Chains A and B, each alone.
Chain A
Amino acid sequence: MPNAYKQVALTYLRRPFSSWIGVCMFIGALGMIPMGIVCLLEGGRGRPPAPAFFPVVMLFLFLYWSLAMHMKDQFADSRARLTPGFRRVHVVVAGTAILVCVVLLPGVVALAGGLRSVGLVALSVLFFDAVLWQVVSNSSWIALVLLAGWAGAMTDPIRAALGDFISGKLELQAVVLLLAGVVIAGQTMLRLVRLTEDDPKRYRRIQWDNLGRIRLAGHAWQDDTSLRQRFRNRAIDQGLRVLTRHALAAPTSWWSRVRRWPIGAVTPLSIWSQSLFMFIVLQIMTWFIPDLPGEENEGKMITLLPMLIMVFLIPSFSLFGMLSTRRPLMGRELLLPVTRRDYVRQLGGAALVNFLQIWVTVTVTMVVWWLLNRWRAPLESGVIIHLLFYSVVVQVLAFGLVVWATSLRSRVSAYATLIVAIAGSQFVGMVCLMSPQDLPEYALPLIGATLAVIGLVFLWHGHHRWLAADFD
């Protein structure tokens, strides 16, 4: 059935950017280009700083993630077991796609760069193996391994070793790793092809409908006996007790009316775990962000860049996630005894409370982290004050943007808006904070005021959009 191969191949070509993770990575890659440019402008000597390579890596990650998700979509369905010839045709087409994207494409890139070695291809295969394993097994620890590997790859010794690996100085090792990578890919594909509903954890896959809503397809699976789930159940029970108290007090108290809408982190436990997570991420980031040359730049990059990223990224994405995942429930909530106007405002109030909780957590975590790492980054007090000022104004921008972005129907547009805003605010932050002495005195207050006004405009517009939104 030659037509079946053609039809299956067409599904790869016709599929739009339907993985929001892939969209994030793709836009993240674009967002990192300004960073790379700043680094190149500030540095400019010898090899380009590591961040300039991030966009390339991110783009490959996007491609491999999209491939893996598409394959999972095809096999994690009853069609795979009940359609005649399904497996054979889909495996052949998938294998061809992997050959082209994971082997040939990096091979061409290596040849174009004058490299006569399989090193880059071997790395590409291993990278794809990790992504495919993550998608097939629905396991979160692979992402941590990837992150650790990435962080390690940015340190000088490992970067040098990678350079040798790619340039052909470790050819035998490269061939061995390439063969190992091919075997691992084969094993993972076999696992994928053999998926059945009897393995509900792995059978589940993310589906992204045309309105940008995520749902998990597959049999519901939950292990109440696992430690993780017991922690979660405890946090949920605690949160529910708080909510019930507020719900009962709502008729008499504005604060209770706001707090009865459960949104995001409501328990002390989750704020502590958020803080710990942020601390670990900050520390990991300093391992792979290189410092810029020059005494005057010492410590600035590895201190400012992570903090600039965290101060916008964490509060905005947390709130974005909370509001987006809540949206399918809003239609039902609106039918509770509350007017639309009150509902939108009280929900907005609840969102603001959570947003501020997260921002305070981020700020405290950053201060503690900086105090512990002060020996690496002796920043002047002026820079610290500027950073704190920037952190405050960027929250106004972030909150307004998130309220507006979450009112959009299309999740792609929403994510694109946020990621462009993150990239832009980092760029502005870097320019203002790296060399504040080069700017006129009024520059930072003016920039801060502009960002805040933009945020308020978005907030006003977003509020009106929410008042008129369809809750379906």
Chain B
Amino acid sequence: MSDPAIELSGITKCYDGKAVLAGLDLSVPKGSVVGLLGTNGAGKTTLIKCALGLIRPQGGKARLLDEDAWTLSAEAKTRLGYVPQVVNLYSWMKVHHLIDYTAAFYPNWNHSLVARLTKEWAIPLDDRVGPLSVGQAQKVAILLALGHEPELLVLDEPAASLDPLARRQFLQMIIDLAEPGRRTVLFSTHITSDLERVADRVAILKSGRIAWHGLLEDLKSQTHLNLEESFLEMHHAEPV
């Protein structure tokens, strides 16, 4: 069995004395599509940032693509794509300048894929990034993460600001990208229906730890509920 794409062992991360992650373990197998679910403030973004080596946990180990997350090599980074929850792009750049700038760092940049996506998603290449709507900026960020066809794609609430058409296109893109064994995807979301469409595994974050991780089908067959109901049940909340 190959090493997992992401391996988190005993991760602890505190802010102002409060433990956001408390001894968390998570293993994301290569080739899987894992949806990360959790309530607001559960620590999904913190988990993702620890996994990517953007922040250092106070305890535990994070490994990404067979390397220590904190000291990732350039080669590993060519295989990684990330879309943050809060997209910070150079607001004064035109979109095509930003694409060219990003592409310059990736020897395996797929220009024809990017051209296709910009057309499908109607991204205005000659506009400056600053005045783009939140949804448009999100599309640009996703595009920049997909352009080099990464082996591991990490997305933090990627579809939150997308319109229904763009969301459908984006989800289809994830399904295409994650053809069996081809790519690994980890994405956090609040939208359980998106997760059900795309993910084969789900990880539920609660009280700083992974409360449940496994195949989506196993969760449904264990609880005899759909994903949303299972999530609510786990948080002892009544469905509407």
Closest to B49 in A: A197
A210 pairs with B74, CB closer than 8 A? no
A78 pairs with B105, CB closer than 8 A? no
Q: Considering the complex, which residues of chain A in the window 64-106 have a beta carbon less than 8 Å from any beta carbon of chain B? A: 73, 77-78, 81-86, 89
Q: Is B120 an interface residue (CB 8 A)?
A: no
Interface size, chain A (Cβ < 8 Å)? 31
B78 interface neighbour in A3, A6, A84, A208, Cβ under 8 Å: A84
Q: Is A4 an interface residue (CB 8 A)?
A: yes
B101 pairs with A7, CB closer than 8 A? yes
Report the minimum CB–CB distance from B59 to chain A (whole Å).
14
A1 pairs with B91, CB closer than 8 A? no
Q: Is B100 an interface residue (CB 8 A)?
A: yes
A11 interface neighbour in B52, B84, B93, B130, Cβ under 8 Å: B93
A89 pairs with B105, CB closer than 8 A? yes
Chain A proximity mask over B122-158: 1 for CB below 8 Å, otherwise 0: 0000001011000000000000000000000000000
- List of A residues within 8 angstroms of B90 by Cβ: 11, 73
- Stretch of A14-22, A24-32, A353-361, A418-426 contacting B (4+ beta carbons < 8 Å): A14-22
Q: Is B75 an interface residue (CB 8 A)?
A: yes
Q: Is B4 an interface residue (CB 8 A)?
A: no
Report if A1-B54 is in contact (Cβ < 8 Å); known contacts: A16-B92, A83-B77, A85-B74. no
B92 pairs with A18, CB closer than 8 A? yes
- List of B residues within 8 angstroms of A73 by Cβ: 90
A208 interface neighbour in B56, B88, B91, B104, Cβ under 8 Å: B91
A209 pairs with B78, CB closer than 8 A? no
A210 pairs with B54, CB closer than 8 A? no
B55 pairs with A210, CB closer than 8 A? no
B101 pairs with A84, CB closer than 8 A? no
A198 pairs with B56, CB closer than 8 A? yes
A14 pairs with B91, CB closer than 8 A? no
CA distance A6 to B104 in the complex (A): 9
Q: Is B167 an interface residue (CB 8 A)?
A: no
Most buried by A among B52, B53, B90: B90
- List of B residues within 8 angstroms of A81 by Cβ: 52-54, 72
- List of B residues within 8 angstroms of A14 by Cβ: 92-93, 97
A84 pairs with B56, CB closer than 8 A? no
- List of B residues within 8 angstroms of A196 by Cβ: 54-56
CA distance A354 to B112 in the complex (A): 58
B55 pairs with A1, CB closer than 8 A? no
Q: Considering the complex, which residues of chain A in the window 189-244 have a beta carbon less than 8 Å from any beta carbon of chain B? A: 196-198, 207-211, 217
Most buried by A among B72, B84, B105: B105
Query: Main SS of the interface on chain A?
Result: mixed
Q: Is A8 an interface residue (CB 8 A)?
A: yes
Report the minimum CB–CB distance from B95 to chain A (whole Å).
13
B91 pairs with A82, CB closer than 8 A? no
B52 pairs with A217, CB closer than 8 A? no
Q: Is A10 an interface residue (CB 8 A)?
A: yes
Closest to B91 in A: A209
Report if A86-B101 is in contact (Cβ < 8 Å); known contacts: A78-B52, A217-B88. no
- List of B residues within 8 angstroms of A197 by Cβ: 49, 54-55
- List of B residues within 8 angstroms of A15 by Cβ: 92
CA distance A11 to B86 in the complex (A): 22
CA distance A279 to B7 in the complex (A): 59
B54 pairs with A78, CB closer than 8 A? yes
- List of B residues within 8 angstroms of A1 by Cβ: 104-105, 107
Report if A84-B55 is in contact (Cβ < 8 Å); known contacts: A3-B104, A10-B97, A15-B92. no
Report the minimum CB–CB distance from B86 to chain A (whole Å).
8
Report the minimum CB–CB distance from A455 to chain B (whole Å).
33
Report the minimum CB–CB distance from A97 to chain B (whole Å).
16
Most buried by B among A1, A15, A16, A84: A84
CA distance A15 to B49 in the complex (A): 29
A210 pairs with B91, CB closer than 8 A? yes
Q: Is B82 an interface residue (CB 8 A)?
A: yes
Q: Is B170 an interface residue (CB 8 A)?
A: no
- List of B residues within 8 angstroms of A77 by Cβ: 88
Q: Is B80 an interface residue (CB 8 A)?
A: yes
Closest to B13 in A: A198
Chain A proximity mask over B39-55: 1 for CB below 8 Å, otherwise 0: 00000000001001111
A85 interface neighbour in B49, B100, B105, Cβ under 8 Å: B105
Q: Is B121 an interface residue (CB 8 A)?
A: no
- List of B residues within 8 angstroms of A4 by Cβ: 104-105
- List of A residues within 8 angstroms of B86 by Cβ: 217
Q: Is B212 an interface residue (CB 8 A)?
A: no
CA distance A211 to B75 in the complex (A): 38
Q: Considering the complex, which residues of chain B in the window 17-73 have a beta carbon less than 8 Å from any beta carbon of chain A? A: 49, 52-56, 72
- List of A residues within 8 angstroms of B88 by Cβ: 77, 207, 217
Closest to A73 in B: B90
- List of B residues within 8 angstroms of A8 by Cβ: 101, 104
CA distance A208 to B106 in the complex (A): 28
Closest to A210 in B: B130
CA distance A14 to B78 in the complex (A): 26
Closest to A81 in B: B54
CA distance A23 to B82 in the complex (A): 34
Report the minimum CB–CB distance from A215 to chain B (whole Å).
10
Residues of B within 8 A of A (CB): 49, 52-56, 72, 74-75, 77-78, 80, 82, 84, 86, 88, 90-93, 97, 100-102, 104-107, 128, 130-131
Further contacts, 13 of them, CB under 8 A, given A82-B77, A211-B131: A7-B101, A8-B101, A14-B93, A18-B92, A81-B72, A82-B72, A84-B106, A86-B105, A197-B49, A197-B55, A198-B56, A209-B130, A210-B128
**Can you name 14 A-B pairs with beta carbons within 8 Å?**
A4-B104, A8-B101, A11-B90, A81-B52, A81-B53, A81-B54, A82-B72, A82-B77, A83-B102, A84-B75, A84-B77, A196-B56, A198-B55, A211-B130
Top 10 nearest A-B pairs (CB, nearest first) are A210-B130, A84-B74, A4-B104, A84-B77, A7-B104, A7-B101, A3-B104, A84-B78, A210-B131, A209-B130
